[in-house]
Amino acid sequence: MKNRTLLMIPGPIEFEPAVLAALGAPTTSHLAPNFIEAFGQALERLRELFLAPDGQPFVIAGTGTLAMDSAGANLVEPGDRALVINTGYFGDRFGALLERYGAQVHHLRAPVGGRPALDEVEAALRGGAYKLLTVTHVDTSTGVRTDVKALAALARAYGALCVVDGVCSVAGEELHMSEWGVDVALTASQKAVGVPPGLALLVAGPRALQAYQARKTPVANFYADWGNWLSVMQAYEARKPAYFGTPAVNLIFALNASLEIILKEGLEARLARHRALGRACRAGLAALGLGQVPLSDELAANTMSAPRFPPGVNGPAFLAEAAKAGVTLAGGLHPAIRAEYFRIGHMGSAGLGDILATLGAVEAALEACGHAFTPGAGVAAARTAWRGA
């Protein structure tokens, strides 16, 4: 027995051996030449990943929430107005974060599993002078994917900075940061970027940096202040040593290794693989009689799925049975429907075999919980959908 289960939650994910090898290598000085080279290379590769040739990457030890906090702390001053495009738990979190820095926050919500319509967003922008529009690209609590390209265009048209929470999307969903006019995009290492938890990743575009430089009040968060990190990032990219806080040396080596893998695969091929993974997973679940939280396939993420439990299936019992069958899945997160659904992550290095193994475990768990279905239907439907039929 391998004495472990396949980790298929929406982060952390399963990691590539080369990434784990880099993480497990002997730790060097953060001023050592080999580390300076790796950090500089990782910063350059982040621009390629985010498709932001004019962006400034920041890599800071912390979580995705720190990346969100960094955006809020540096861009918001007391009294600024912010429009939150809210599709779940992490829209709520972004709003609460912005309020902490003195923003006047307006949430534009949709029914659970939906997303606000573009005409609603435009009407809200037209009705008030917003400094920020925040978007959760994929809300991990619902599996709902937003239309970042269209939302960024609206933000630009009405003079608002567009900040994208890409924690559950970057490296798995399409994002053309510079071309689409996104001003800040952020993520965390442990999801589709494919690195163990511990790095907050953010890219700031020219308009965001200009807004930061035009501040009239000091940034209220010392650790997250871009002013403390900007010269450090610039120095490492120029292959020079610098210091503000000790970087997470091994995680940055692992990040550079993962970015090399991602860019070698190619962004178009990687996104196509994630689309196929999402399509296969949803098809398999539907064949077993499971609905989903997103109100339509058009709204469903490619990096994760949020299936609803069939009537009569007990959530905790189901998840325990899936674990017995060799796959770890995640329970619900959205407070309004927490007990009604579960979550599957299929991002990063995941492939068809992982989806088939997961659906096999889902079938075993459903059988143990008394749900009637055609055995093998989920796996068969996933294989068909993977082929694009």
Distance between CA atoms of residues 371 and 321, nearest Å: 13
Is 11 a domain residue?
no
Q: Are residues 316 and 272 in the same domain?
A: yes
Task: Give me the pLDDT at residue 128, please.
Answer: 86
The reply to whether 9 falls in a domain is: no
Tell me, yes or no, whether 281 and 377 share the same domain. yes
Question: Tokens 């309004």 sit at which residue?
Answer: 336
| pLDDT of 388 over the 90 cut | no
pLDDT confidence tier of residue 1, bands split at 50, 70 and 90: very low
The total of other beta-carbon atoms located within 10 Å of residue 131's CB is 19
Q: What is the pLDDT of residue 172?
A: 98
Same domain, 215 and 162: yes
Per the structure block, which two tokens stand in for 31? Answer: 């001023």
pLDDT, position 4: 84
Stretch 244-272: mean pLDDT:
98
Task: Tell me the residue range of the domain where 196 lies.
Answer: 17-265
As a whole number, the mean pLDDT across the chain is 97
User: DSSP characters for 317-372?
Assistant: HHHHHHHHTTEE-EE---TTTGGGBEEEE--TT--HHHHHHHHHHHHHHHHHTT--
Cα distances (Å, whole numbers) of residue 372 to 250, 316, 362, 376: 48, 18, 12, 12
Closest CA to 371 of 316, 290, 286: 290
Residue 12 preceded by cis peptide, ω within 30: yes
Same domain, 244 and 97: yes
> Which CATH number do you get for residue 344?
3.90.1150.10
Provide the pLDDT for residue 2.
67
Query: Among 243, 265, 287, where does a domain finish?
Result: 265
DSSP per-residue letters across 88-133: SHHHHHHHHHHHHTT-EEEEEE-STT----HHHHHHHHHTS--SEE
Residue 143 has pLDDT above 50, yes or no: yes
Q: Mean pLDDT across the stretch 75-82?
A: 98
Distance between CA atoms of 86 and 292, rounded to whole angstroms? 19
Please work out, in degrees rounded to the nearest 5, the angle formed at the alpha carbon of residue 120 by the alpha carbons of 114 and 126.
150
Q: What are phi and psi of 5, to 5 degrees?
A: -105, 160
Domain count, the chain: 2
